[in-house]
Chains A and B, each alone.
Chain A
Amino acid sequence: MVAQAEILDWQARIEQHAQDFGLDFFPTVFQMVTFEQMNEIAAYGGFPTRYPHWTFGMEHERLAKSYAYGLSKIYELVVNTNPCYAYLLECNPLVDQKLVMAHVYGHCDFFKNNLYFAHTNRKMMDELANHGMRIRRYMSKHGFEAVESLLDDCQCVDNLIDLHSTFIKRRVEVRTAADLFEERERQTARRLPASDYMERYINPPDFVAEQERKLVEEETSQRRLPERPERDVLLFLLEHAPLDNWQREVLALIREEAYYFAPQGQTKIMNEGWASFVHSNLMTKQLATDAEIVDYAEHHSGTMGRRPGSLNPYKLGLELLRDIEARWDKGQFGKEWDECDDFERRRAWDTGAGLGRQKLFEVRKLYSDVTFIDEFLTPEFCAEQGLFAYDYDDDDNLYRIASRQFPDIKRKLLFQLTNFGQPHIAVMDANHENRGELYLKHDHEGLDLKMREARDTLHSLYRLWKRPVHLETVVDDWNVVLTFTGSEDKDEKLREVDD
């Protein structure tokens, strides 16, 4: 155990080193906690003030058990807020504390600068405390069970958000009456210009009829809800589901939290890679004393370790960042580099560009895991790191190494990361069959949903929408519509998917 004063002293020093390294972070507050407190905070996703729910209890049980059996131990926990809060395990030796603090500054810098975190609420500690308070108030007003089961239902659908909506405006702005009138004017006049005697030939009656039919169709499609597929299913429910005000409030705050936490899933590899890059630099160059270096190395390699055959995001992120730094230092980029296919020349390539560090700071600002892998994964890197793609073999229920080819590896990796591993699901129609039923569609990208869970999720959706709900998806190469009518599960095969 290290005295608080010593930690504070080190914090000041590490902060200085981090600034010298070029990091730009929010003020950071370190709190010393026991492992029980650490497990508790971790169970709440870093925010001990969150609303009460048994799923946090479940997570806590898992953490406490795996700690008790020595399977895992949380060393650091840092949350994306301003000021940034980070928790240190008080029983750790000084070398671990230094390592964790250096690591934390890496995360803080990432939170503050990475584009994908730009929209997040930096006062989330307070906001979540408010959410907690509101939920508690609803519980005392509407009953514990009612609020809990609503929270259950909301959590079942809290992955149905539109990750890109923070960057793109998909929705058409609401049009004013004057706009509509003008449009209307334009539309009725949709005839080709012709002088009177040519009218019958240029605008024959069936053409005009066709035009009118199209107009009517367009109008009805505008009246359709939603006008376009809506991927922010939570928002759609919020606006259109028949909920009481307090229920709507609960759904809204669950949605807010989902959007707040989403970027962490989108930037796992980068964020951890960056923090590891920072700590390994600071520790080996400035912070670790000679006596500590062995302990540091052990701890570091423990974090970077992996089960044989699996992929550690910390390791992948760190190695890829190091690769980028080396490439930009040696000028291994640009047109000339791309077009060179002389193996020996490529290997010896060094223009002395020295742009590595600068490039890294740019990368940590602009990229998410998907774009990071897409842009910087190279065949050389894959070979050097011994990456491979594996496939599932139905016959003997085994995963087998399928390929060491660069395109295969890259495709697989990107597929796993797309939409941070969540299926794309959108609301297609809120008035399906003209009966007010909700129709969702899963944009199938090659991987089926878990059937049982999908059905149960429909039950949750039904409880929110209060009318029958449908999900169109693909099961074993068949287009299928799963339905929950409120009393029974149904499925209807539409057609076989043609490749």
Chain B
Amino acid sequence: MAERIANDVARFRQIIRGAVKRDLKDYISRGELIGKKGRDLVSIPVPYVALPQFRFGQQRGGVGQGPGQLGQPIGRGDGEEPGPGAGSDPADHILEVELTIEEFAQLLGEELELPHIEPRGKKNITREVARYTGVRPVGPESLRHFKRTYHQALRRQLVSGTYEYDRPVIVPVREDRRYRSWKAEPLPSSNAVIIHMMDVSGSMGDEQKELVRITAFWIDTWLKSQYRDVTVKYITHDAEAREVDEHTFFHTRESGGTRISSAFKLANAMIDERFPVTDWNVYLFHFSDGDNWDDDTSTCVGLLRDELLPRCNQFCYGQVTSNWGSGQFLLDLFEQFENEDKLTTAEIDEKVDILDAIKEFLGKGR
């Protein structure tokens, strides 16, 4: 029996995926998904999936029940304006499909034909997660199950005859209290760390940061769908590099010169101290407009060749075009590392390039 619905569900998913994939570029380059976590649901408006029928537009009213004065608002309409020209408005014939970010990452993977990533032979680290599965009569007050406690008290008062119908006050006593209880479940994890580095020098404007932000988000999302645990670290740099938190990474506005090697050095130090390659899969992403100080590039190349590349799964460089045009760094890297598998580069001029950049970065499945 279960197979029957499985087929219909699969067909439905196929239709949805088709519709989402068609517009993937749009969804990807939209900012509002950012900040969602793996199991968060996102509503994706998918046009033309639900079957249309002749049916009424917005109900102009109805009947309700409950207290309230005349004129009191009881709910919000969906704001649809029927009109002779409304046929051209796509908003009113759309199925909102809810996908988790994880599912979205899968779609992204399928569409870009991203290979699944085989974690390098790192040891599996197990950690324990608490699952709240039961209820028991003892426990800390912070875990008190209010409803069950009330229930139990009501039951006791009814049975013992202390329940007053005219004055239905329920007073729980010690024995009535119920608490949530948990079980610890082992969860295997293989670890990955992503280090995002961004150039925040004067030439990187808001538009460039938005490009970086969206690209970084989808990279995180994809890698998170491949590893159970992903740690993400952020570095910003102009002439100096700093480790920052997520918010700062996406919001700072700095000015100053550009010394890319400072970021590489910091990342290198972080790997040394916190993410030993024996335990971690390391992904490095660097975004810049490529306008490095002339004498710095050779330092960068040296660092990459000797330190970073041997120790990371992949190093990706994304160059965004700023108001001042595109810099030299991309070409320099390309010349130096033409045959290096672990290093990939991409140019991101505008939002439509994001998808291609991601494919370029993650298409190797390292």
Contact = CB atoms under 8 A, between A and B. Distances in A.
Interface in B16-60: 48, 50-60
B4 A416 contact: no
A450 interface: yes
Contacts of B86: 451-452, 475
Interface string A404-425: 1000010011001000011101
A52 B8 contact: yes
Contacts of A316: 65
Nearest to B61: A391
B103 to A, nearest CB: 11
Given A387-B65, A423-B56, A448-B56, A401 B82 contact: no
Contact of B63 (A152, A389, A451): A389
A447 B92 CA distance: 16
Interface string B145-158: 00000010011001
Nearest to A312: B65
Contacts of B87: 451-452, 455, 489, 491
A44 B50 CA distance: 17
Contacts of A387: 63-65
B7 A401 contact: no
B62 A52 contact: no
Nearest to A310: B64
B2 interface: yes
Contacts of A298: 151
A123 B230 CA distance: 56
Contact of B56 (A390, A412, A450): A450
Contacts of A399: 61-62, 73-77
Given A309-B74, A310-B65, A392-B59, A60 B5 contact: yes
A336 B301 CA distance: 102
B92 A451 contact: yes
A308 B2 CA distance: 38
A401 B72 contact: yes
Given A54-B15, A294-B151, A401 B76 contact: no
A456 B2 CA distance: 33
A391 B60 contact: yes
Contact of A37 (B1, B60, B62, B66): B1
B64 A475 contact: no
Nearest to B64: A309
Contacts of A456: 48, 52, 93
Contacts of A404: 70
A160 interface: yes
Given A37-B1, A60-B8, A452-B86, A385 B65 contact: yes
A341 interface: no
Contacts of A44: 5
Given A385-B65, A452-B86, A489-B87, A54 B11 contact: yes
A387 B62 CA distance: 11
Contact of B53 (A39, A156, A401): A156
Interface residues of A, number: 85
Contacts of B52: 156, 452-457, 460
Interface in B96-117: 98
Contact of A43 (B5, B50, B65): B5
B84 interface: yes
A393 B158 CA distance: 48
Given A40-B5, A56-B5, A306-B65, A157 B84 contact: no
A449 B159 contact: no
A397 B79 contact: yes
Given A40-B4, A52-B8, A389-B62, A401 B70 contact: yes
B9 interface: yes
A70 interface: no
Given A390-B74, A416-B59, A451 B54 contact: no
A388 B63 contact: yes
B121 interface: no
Contacts of B11: 52-54, 57
Given A57-B11, A156-B51, A478-B84, A388 B65 contact: yes
B155 A294 contact: yes
A499 interface: no
Contact of A442 (B1, B54, B67, B75): B54
Contacts of B12: 54-55, 57-58, 60-61
Given A294-B151, A306-B65, A398 B77 contact: yes
Contact of A400 (B56, B74, B158): B74
The B contact surface, by secondary structure, is mixed
Contacts of A54: 8, 11-12, 14-15
Tell me which of A36, A298, A456, A457 has the highest count of chain B C-beta atoms within 10 A of its own C-beta: A456
A401 B61 CA distance: 9
Nearest to A65: B98
Contacts of A158: 53
B68 interface: yes
Contacts of B66: 306, 308-309, 386, 388
A294 B57 CA distance: 43
Nearest to B75: A399
Contacts of B57: 447-451
B140 interface: no
Interface string A375-398: 000000000011111111100111
Contacts of B58: 392
Nearest to A456: B52
A476 interface: yes
B89 interface: yes
B9 A60 contact: yes
A56 B158 contact: no
A409 B57 CA distance: 21
A466 to B, nearest CB: 19
Contacts of B134: none
A450 B55 contact: yes
B83 interface: yes
B71 interface: yes
A294 B168 CA distance: 14
Contact of B82 (A65, A396, A450): A450
A413 B65 CA distance: 12
B13 interface: yes
A316 B65 CA distance: 9
Contacts of B14: 54
B84 A448 contact: no
B339 interface: no
A451 B71 CA distance: 29
A475 to B, nearest CB: 5
A264 interface: no
Contact of B70 (A311, A403, A416, A489): A403
Given A40-B5, A54-B11, A453 B82 contact: no
B125 interface: no
B93 A447 contact: no
A392 B71 contact: no
B278 interface: no
27 contacts: A44-B5, A52-B4, A54-B14, A57-B8, A60-B8, A152-B51, A293-B158, A294-B158, A310-B64, A316-B65, A386-B65, A388-B68, A390-B61, A390-B64, A397-B76, A399-B73, A402-B71, A412-B62, A412-B63, A416-B63, A422-B55, A450-B82, A450-B92, A454-B52, A455-B52, A478-B84, A493-B84
Given A54-B14, A60-B5, A449-B54, 5 more contacts: A37-B1, A157-B53, A390-B61, A401-B68, A422-B54
Interface of A: 36-37, 39-40, 43-44, 48, 52-58, 60-61, 65, 152, 155-160, 290-291, 293-294, 298, 306, 308-312, 315-316, 385-393, 396-404, 409, 412-413, 416, 421-423, 425, 442, 446-457, 460, 471, 475-476, 478, 480, 489, 491, 493
Q: Which 5 A-B pairs have the closest CB atoms?
A: A57-B12, A57-B8, A456-B52, A452-B93, A453-B52
